[in-house]
Structure 1
């Protein structure tokens, strides 16, 4: 029986996961806010055959510390900027659903799926902080359990709204003046404890039917939502098998990617110097050892790996030029694929609309 090839992803977060990455001599700090730094990293990853780029984001402002980047580009906007400049790689921006309108969230993700020709998705996240609540000013902060419970409803209603247009609802018949078939557009009439949506969506059904939904399981509360996702990001590597088992207890069968912060340098002294002041780095060292670890994680049952590079300009070229070819040589990942939808790239079927034949 052949082993399924691993899914590979990189995370885009400012100049990189290290707070001092922007200060490296190889980095043009201005390129962080033009999006060029992120675009270059994603294009390098795509050329190597990486499957997905995720984009970090949060409603809370970055810490205002003099030697750190205290600004952040909107992840969804950045993904939309990069989509037309790429062809194969999936694009998953982080979107915090706690203080945002579910109707607009799903419409934004559907739009990204169109812009990227079926490579769109999102990392659904929540916020329980007072700072985020103050930034938005619409509601008080809620406990993590409540925010993740609400997130499950947001994910669910998003799929209902993506289904609210049947695939053949758009006619575009200029001779009769009919652009859409109204009988193939449906109300969702969705109710949850915190919101109600009548629908239908303002965006036609996305190219993938349902763009890919990912959840980062970094808290016990997030674990309950994992069953709603197609893709789960599992930060860190401690007690990996136990956490994998917990995710797969539910009815869903998401693809699970272990998420690791990496700083790649064969010189131990140079690596230690670069790592100074960093946190949440799971691997500091060479490519061969990281490839060994990825092989061990694959044997433990993960479906892939999300790499969070310490520096986009330093570590992404090493990932693209050395690590990915090494994983391919070890047959842990497949060849560079042709342009396709992200769902097909992940081996996921395109779902049909639940409203076909409905009069709702």
Structure 2
């Protein structure tokens, strides 16, 4: 299955610029009602953007006077956007270090159901002593440990999504049976830090598995990204090296999985890779940004995640000016195709590992 060059925007408060909320075009109250996020997602969707990602962090509000140091929960904000959009993918950031794995998968599965199969999530970790103190659940841990645990969370989540077979809901009014219990399964997952018996409380998501993404910011995250289907890499001078390392790690994972894993000729080994860059088209201009994206595409990435400095200023420019330029250069499709996010990205729907038909 093939995909075109992928475009994504990040939604983070009023924008990536800490002072974006002060602009005359922004109603600061709209940050906490979700209206800024809704408006940005709808504009992006209408223009053909493929994904909207939602930033999140666990640190407590700081005392810098001119910065928005409060935020809405990313998963809740994505759920706010889901019913008022139709095609754009929705990927909230979830910090798994301080969140129960069972609740992570149930929440993401719920988002996939209410969005009609457009959900994913960005797995993140926290090594911050401040965040650990604010939440009070556990002591801080180094990146190697937190990313190792994150990989277990990803694995457990996929198993729990498979704990319901696709046809487990039967809605048999005559017998009063809504669910066929024979098609629910224990997962009996064990890791060094948690265990989950299952099954999930949420039926299998429309996509089978919502898209799992990782934002690479450390060497440990780069290694963990081999388990992801979508990866965000920072714009850097070693971009091409990171793309090669990601795909080599993924090939190694497939090899270690053994002969039970088979790949078809049109199946890409490794995650889809997007360059993540903060952008200011209202300052730097659209043509300059389009040229940068063209350079990134030349090193073999699959798309770009644009982090607007100001949602109200930059998203309209991305929608009305940048996307048409990218289409002219063959770097963006119409974006009007509906269906699931997996289908939009050219990813197959996973087979359920517990279904009787695959045993």
TM-score normalised over the length of structure 1? 0.92
Find the counterpart in structure 1 of residue 173 from structure 2.
174
Distance 1:4 1:173, change over 3 A: closer
Aligned equivalents of 1:29 and 1:127: distance in 2? 28
Question: Where do 5+ consecutive residues of structure 2 fail to align?
Answer: 252-268
**Higher helix proportion, which one?**
2
Find the counterpart in structure 2 of residue 89 from structure 1.
88
Find the counterpart in structure 2 of residue 24 from structure 1.
23
Find the counterpart in structure 2 of residue 142 from structure 1.
141
Is residue 351 of structure 1 aligned with residue 354 of structure 2? no
Aligned equivalents of 1:329 and 1:236: distance in 2? 23
1:196 positional shift: 0.5
Find the counterpart in structure 2 of residue 120 from structure 1.
119
SS in 2 for 1:289: helix
SS in 2 for 1:194: coil
Aligned equivalents of 1:349 and 1:359: distance in 2? 16
Maintained 8 Å contact 2:169/2:180: yes
Q: Counterparts of 1:317-332 in structure 2 under 5 Å?
A: 317-332=316-331
Q: CA-to-partner distance for each residue in 1:240-283, whole Å, 9 max, x for gaps?
A: 11111111111251000000000113xxxxx3xxxxxxxxxxxx
Aligned equivalents of 1:263 and 1:292: distance in 2? 14
Aligned equivalents of 1:140 and 1:359: distance in 2? 42
Find the counterpart in structure 2 of residue 227 from structure 1.
226
Q: Which runs of 4+ in 1 moved over 2 A?
A: 61-64
Q: CA-to-partner distance for each residue in 1:8-45, whole Å, 9 max, x for gaps?
A: 00000110000110000000000000000111001000
Aligned equivalents of 1:13 and 1:28: distance in 2? 15
Q: CA-to-partner distance for each residue in 1:163-192, whole Å, 9 max, x for gaps?
A: 000000100011111111111100000000
Maintained 8 Å contact 1:237/1:260: no
Task: Give the CA RMSD over aligned residues.
Answer: 1.4
Find the counterpart in structure 2 of residue 205 from structure 1.
204
1:70 positional shift: 1.6
TM-score normalised over the length of structure 2? 0.92
Q: How many residues align?
A: 340
Find the counterpart in structure 1 of residue 274 from structure 2.
257
Question: Where do 5+ consecutive residues of structure 1 fail to align?
Answer: 266-270, 272-284
Q: Counterparts of 1:48-197 in structure 2 under 5 Å?
A: 48-197=47-196
Find the counterpart in structure 1 of residue 294 from structure 2.
295
Aligned equivalents of 1:9 and 1:302: distance in 2? 13
Aligned equivalents of 1:94 and 1:24: distance in 2? 26
1:224 positional shift: 1.3
Find the counterpart in structure 2 of residue 337 from structure 1.
336
Aligned equivalents of 2:354 and 2:112: distance in 1? 20
Find the counterpart in structure 1 of residue 256 from structure 2.
none
1:238 positional shift: 2.1
1:95 positional shift: 0.2
Maintained 8 Å contact 1:122/1:213: yes
Aligned equivalents of 1:62 and 1:245: distance in 2? 38
1:359 positional shift: 12
